[in-house]
Structure 1
Amino acid sequence: MLSFVIPAHDEAPRLPATIDALHAAARGCGVDYEIVVVDDASRDGTGDVAARHGARVLRVEHRQIAATRNAGARAARGDTLVFVDADTRIPVETLAAALAALRDGAVGGGATVRFDADLPWHQRFVIAIGVRLVWLGRVAAGCFVFCMRPAFDGAGGFDERWYAGEDVAMSRALAKAGRFVLLREPVWTSARKLDTFTPGEHLRLMLRLAFRGRGLLRSREHLALWYERREKE
Structure 2
Amino acid sequence: MKKISIVIPMFNEAEHIQRTIISAIQSATFAGLQYEVIAVDNNSSDNSKALAEQLGATVIVKPDLKIGALRNAGAEITDGDYIAFLDADIEVPHDWLTSCLALHSKGNDVIALDCDTPPQAPWFARVWQKRSMSKSGADRYLDWLATPNLFLTRDIFTSVGGFNSQLASGEDKEFGLRLHAQAAKQVSIAQPAALHWGYEKTWTEWFKKEFWRQSSHIHLLTSQKNLRLARFPILCSLTTLSTFLFILISLSKSISSSWPFLVLSLITPALLALRQSDYRSDFTYTCKLCFLHWLRLHIGFAAIINSAYKLIKREKL
TM-score, normalised relative to structure 1: 0.81
Q: Report the CA distance shift for 1:156/1:199 in structure 2 as closer, same or farther (over 3 A).
A: closer
Q: Report the CA distance shift for 1:215/1:132 in structure 2 as closer, same or farther (over 3 A).
A: farther
Q: Matched residue of 1:92: which SS? A: coil
Aligned length: 220
Candidates 169, 182, 188, aligned match of 1:182: 188
Are the equivalent residues in 2 in contact too, given 1:139–1:172 (CA < 8 A)? yes
**C-alpha deviation, 1:198, in angstroms:** 5.0
In the alignment, the residues of structure 2 paired with residue 208 and residue 195 of structure 1 have an alpha-carbon distance, to the nearest angstrom, of: 18
Q: Report the CA distance shift for 1:127/1:11 in structure 2 as closer, same or farther (over 3 A).
A: closer
Larger Rg: 2
**C-alpha deviation, 1:125, in angstroms:** 3.2
Larger proportion of helix: 2
Are the equivalent residues in 1 in contact too, given 2:90–2:198 (CA < 8 A)? no
Are the equivalent residues in 2 in contact too, given 1:116–1:191 (CA < 8 A)? no
The aligned counterpart of 1:197 is: 204
**C-alpha deviation, 1:112, in angstroms:** 0.7
Q: Matched residue of 1:170: which SS? A: helix
Candidates 146, 149, 163, aligned match of 2:154: 149
**C-alpha deviation, 1:193, in angstroms:** 2.4
Deviates more, 1:118-127 or 1:207-216: 207-216
Larger proportion of strand: 1
In the alignment, the residues of structure 2 paired with residue 93 and residue 219 of structure 1 have an alpha-carbon distance, to the nearest angstrom, of: 46
Q: Report the CA distance shift for 1:45/1:220 in structure 2 as closer, same or farther (over 3 A).
A: farther
Are the equivalent residues in 2 in contact too, given 1:159–1:166 (CA < 8 A)? yes
Higher relative contact order (CA 8 A, sep 6+): 1
RMSD: 3.1
Q: Work out whether 1:10 is the aligned partner of 2:12.
A: yes
**C-alpha deviation, 1:26, in angstroms:** 0.8
Deviates more, 1:22-31 or 1:58-67: 58-67
Candidates 293, 296, 300, aligned match of 1:206: 296
**C-alpha deviation, 1:15, in angstroms:** 1.1
Q: Give the residue type in structure 1 aligned to 2:72.
A: N
Q: Work out whether 1:114 is the aligned partner of 2:116.
A: yes
The aligned counterpart of 1:168 is: 173
Are the equivalent residues in 1 in contact too, given 2:38–2:57 (CA < 8 A)? yes
**C-alpha deviation, 1:121, in angstroms:** 4.1
**C-alpha deviation, 1:85, in angstroms:** 0.7
Q: Report the CA distance shift for 1:159/1:24 in structure 2 as closer, same or farther (over 3 A).
A: same
In the alignment, the residues of structure 2 paired with residue 218 and residue 104 of structure 1 have an alpha-carbon distance, to the nearest angstrom, of: 43
Deviations 1:21-70 (A, max 9, x none): 11111111111111101111112122221111111111111341010011
In the alignment, the residues of structure 1 paired with residue 142 and residue 310 of structure 2 have an alpha-carbon distance, to the nearest angstrom, of: 24
